[in-house]
Amino acid sequence: MTPMAIGTGVNELALAVFAIVLAITLAITYWASKRTSTATEFWAAGRGITGLQNGFAMAGDYLSASTFLGFAGLIFLFGVDGWVGLAAAGASFLPVVLLLAERMRNAGRFTMADVLAFRLKERPARIAAALGTLAVSFVYLIAHMVGAGVLLQALAGIDFTLSVLLTGTFMMVYVVFGGMLATTWVQIIKAGLLMTAGIVLTVLVLAKTSFNPVELFDRAAGNHEDAKGYLGGGLQHPNSINAISFGLALLLGTAGLPHLLMRFFTVPDAKAARGSIGWAVALIGAFFIMTMIVGVGARAILGADAVEASAGGNLATPLLAEELGGGAGSVGGDLFLAIISAVAFATILAVVAGLVIAASGAVAHDVWTSVVRRGRAAEDEEVRVARVAALGLGVLAILASILAGPEFNVSILVGLAFAVAASANLPALLMALFWPRFNTTGAVTGVVGGLLISLAIIVMSPPVWPGPDGEGSPVALANPAIISIPAGFLCCWLGTVLSRERSAASSYHELHVRAETGIGAV
Amino acid sequence: MADAAPRAVDWTAIERLPEFRELTEGRRRFAWVAGALGVGAGALYVVLAATAPDLMRTSLGGSFTLGFAGGVALILLTWAITLAYMRRSARVWAPLEARVRERARELGAPEPEREGRFAREGAPATRRAPEVQA
């Protein structure tokens, strides 16, 4: 292997570490499968997860390869510009802490739609919420499966298509057999692995400058051809509207991510929900700060020579690990690279499993039981449909990811998923919980409007529009958030005030009391 | 919802309880003020980083600039607000919630249901009927 190159042939050591990780997750799935038969067990792990466990699982659900590899890479490439989006994502947990965590737990059962359906007309509200959940989950899912394919191809030498197939298969096995219990423990273990890897990398990076962080930043800036831009911004998004839009998507998207909100239903009560989000915020914030140090460290230690080998920045962290372990070809370097690659793989598996289980809830709990069967489906039927849905969604995601292909930029896809979440899901959820006048028409126009507007802008935007670099795309925005989030709120409001429907204020009182106090919570 | 109480509960009567008002008004005020502060600070950071590179380049010691420090400060602020919310929840709001639940029980509000692991520990017969949405 030449220095600063990864991805020549199959990496046996990486495969061996992958195999260990997979064996552990399969053992968990087998254990969980014996404890998963009812709907509460399938979607909510029997509500027997503790606050601390759920905090780790939320961190495992949220911290994606896009954080560990994508954002570290963006900071490696662009400095401050990369860090702004990640720090904004850190603050994005505040609406979840302050407004959603306990209220979701108190008022919901399995899915985001439960909260909307509580006070609105059940069928339209559930269809709309299911649509929002499916759209966000699917975009996010494809982003991560493409990421998994690119990673495994580069790090272990497995072909892209085979990598996507492998990731998708394991994801389906966890969810179909082990439900939320298996998914939760895969996420907890992954969070532990990821935090450990982050701490080790951070300490090793800081040790390079004798634990003087200022010198680390000095070296990083010295290794960049545009030190001013690296330290002050303007490199990643020459157009400041795009930078603001991307930042807003990350700042507001978290509170609309259905797979994250679903995790609140796995704990026994609101107190544990509060504990979970507290632990999650602590862990995720700490990991973000470590990611900044790793990204800056990659620039300081690897220098500009690694830009090409980092494949758009995504491989900066593994390259750094290889260098810190002793360099390419050394035993330490190979081993550290293999371990970091396996952690990245485990990261992706935990996230996609969480996404599939959220999407299966939308299909089976919201659409099948409540809309198709009009509430007359027995519980074991609902779980059966959920398993079939997870399988079907998994196959669809595999096919879509293979079609999208390795050229698709993973970080951009993640930014788009956040924009859709903040535009379609967040407005309706907040208004259902806090606006007495809100009604079903408002919820449907809000979710559908936010979804269509964000998707329309995405389709017409440079990242997706066909042609080289999306040239000639009708919209110049790389991320729709700056238009689609206000539009989503506006659609909720307009739909409510323009419809002649009687307001759902009477059911608001019940939802209000239940959400605030936990009275009658399941 | 399927778990709507079998008898009619006067939810607005619970809303009128002084304990309920104290709970929701205090908590809501905290949430909106702290939320506006934190999310506002995030939005300000995002906008400044996009429009004022010269400001972001202000050195706070060597190459550690305001651009990097601002993000670290944003995460520290998120931690501080979360911690303040947790502590106030444990000390003020959780006891209030318990008092409201007690008063509400007298007004006919349903008890929290226990399912999942709690049901599994008992006889399987206690498992809830199919969770259908009426």
Count H helices and E strands in chain B, helices first.
6, 0
Q: Classify the C-alpha dihedral A59-A65-A66-A67 as positive or negative.
A: positive
| Residues of chain B found within 8 Å of residue A114, distances taken between Cβ atoms | 1
Question: Which pLDDT value is given to residue B4?
Answer: 47
Residues in chain A: 522
Residue A307 CA to residue A315 CA, distance in Å, equals 9
Question: For residue B132, what are the contacts with CB-CB under 8 A and spacing of at least 6?
Answer: A369, A375, A376, A377, A378, A379, B2
Q: Give chain B's domain count.
A: 1
Determine, for residues A247 and B49 on separate chains, whether the beta-carbon distance falls below 8 Å. Answer: yes
Best A98, A119, A211, A276 residue to mutate vs chain B (most B CBs within 10 Å)? A98
Question: Which pLDDT value is given to residue A474?
Answer: 85
Residue B113 CA to residue A60 CA, distance in Å, equals 29
Residue B103: burial class (beta carbons within 10 Å; 0-12, 13-18, 19+) = middle
Surface of B (61-120) touching A: CB under 8 A: 61-65, 67-68, 70-72, 74-75, 77-79, 81-83, 85-86, 89, 94, 97, 100-101, 104, 109-113, 115-118, 120
The residue that leads in pLDDT, B86 or B118, is B86
Q: Phi and psi for A496 in degrees, rounded to 5?
A: -70, -50
Domain assignment of residue B28, given as a range: 20-110
| Residues of chain A found within 8 Å of residue B4, distances taken between Cβ atoms | 510
Distance from CA of A254 to the nearest CA of B (A): 12
Residue A39 CA to residue A37 CA, distance in Å, equals 7
CB-CB contact of A77 with A418 (8 Å):
no
Q: B125 in a domain, yes or no?
A: no
Res B117 pLDDT > 50:
no
Question: For residue A320, what are the contacts with CB-CB under 8 A and spacing of at least 6?
Answer: A201, A205, A294, A297, A298, A301, A302
Question: Which pLDDT value is given to residue A311?
Answer: 80
CB-CB contact of A484 with A437 (8 Å):
no
- Tell me which chain B residue has its CA closest to the CA of residue A293: B68
Return the SS3 of B132.
Answer: coil
CB-CB contact of A289 with B75 (8 Å):
yes
| Residues of chain A found within 8 Å of residue B111, distances taken between Cβ atoms | 520
Residue for token pair 């993973």: A410
- Neighbouring CB atoms inside 10 A of A34's CB total 10
Q: B15 in a domain, yes or no?
A: no
CB-CB contact of A425 with A137 (8 Å):
no
Question: Which pLDDT value is given to residue A239?
Answer: 87
Res B57 pLDDT > 50:
yes
Domain residue extents for chain A: 12-33+51-517
Residue pairs between chains A and B whose CB atoms are closer than 8 Å: 247
CB-CB contact of A397 with A170 (8 Å):
no
Q: B11 in a domain, yes or no?
A: no
Question: Which pLDDT value is given to residue A409?
Answer: 67
CB-CB contact of A55 with B86 (8 Å):
no
Residue A214 CA to residue A211 CA, distance in Å, equals 9
Return the SS3 of B63.
Answer: strand
Residue A468: burial class (beta carbons within 10 Å; 0-12, 13-18, 19+) = exposed
Q: B68 in a domain, yes or no?
A: yes
Please tell me chain A's helix, strand, coil percentages from 3-state DSSP, rounded to the nearest 5.
Answer: 80, 0, 20
Count H helices and E strands in chain A, helices first.
25, 0
Surface of B (33-62) touching A: CB under 8 A: 34-35, 38-39, 41-43, 45-47, 49-51, 53-57, 61-62
Return the SS3 of B61.
Answer: strand
Of B71, B97, B104, the CB nearest to A84: B71
- Tell me which chain A residue has its CA closest to the CA of residue B102: A519
Which bin fits B62, alpha (ψ -120 to 50), beta or left (φ > 0)? left
Determine, for residues B46 and A248 on separate chains, whether the beta-carbon distance falls below 8 Å. Answer: yes
Residue A267 CA to residue A429 CA, distance in Å, equals 20
With CA atoms as reference, report the closest residue to A312 among A231, A232, A407: A407
CATH 1.20.1730.10 for domain A12-33+51-517, yes or no, is: yes
CB-CB contact of A68 with A397 (8 Å):
no
Question: Which pLDDT value is given to residue B113?
Answer: 59
Question: Which pLDDT value is given to residue A412?
Answer: 72
Residue A367 CA to residue A361 CA, distance in Å, equals 9
Residue B40: burial class (beta carbons within 10 Å; 0-12, 13-18, 19+) = exposed
Q: How far is CA A376 from CA A148, A393, B130, in A?
A: 39, 24, 9
Q: Which residues of A220-245 are buried (b: 16+ CB within 10 A; e: fewer)?
A: bbebbeebbbbbbbbbbbeebbbbbb
Res B107 pLDDT > 50:
yes
CB-CB contact of A290 with A201 (8 Å):
yes
- Tell me which chain A residue has its CA closest to the CA of residue B127: A38
Q: B49 in a domain, yes or no?
A: yes
Residue B129: burial class (beta carbons within 10 Å; 0-12, 13-18, 19+) = exposed
Prediction ipTM score: 0.94
Low-confidence ranges of chain A (pLDDT < 70): 1-9, 409, 467-470
Beta-sheet strands, E only, within A188-315 = none
Q: B121 in a domain, yes or no?
A: no
Q: Residue A299 has which token pair?
A: 């620039």
Residue A30 CA to residue A223 CA, distance in Å, equals 49
Q: B41 in a domain, yes or no?
A: yes
Distance from CA of A395 to the nearest CA of B (A): 28
Q: Residue A481 has which token pair?
A: 């958030």
Question: Which pLDDT value is given to residue A484?
Answer: 97
With CA atoms as reference, report the closest residue to A79 among B66, B91, B107: B66
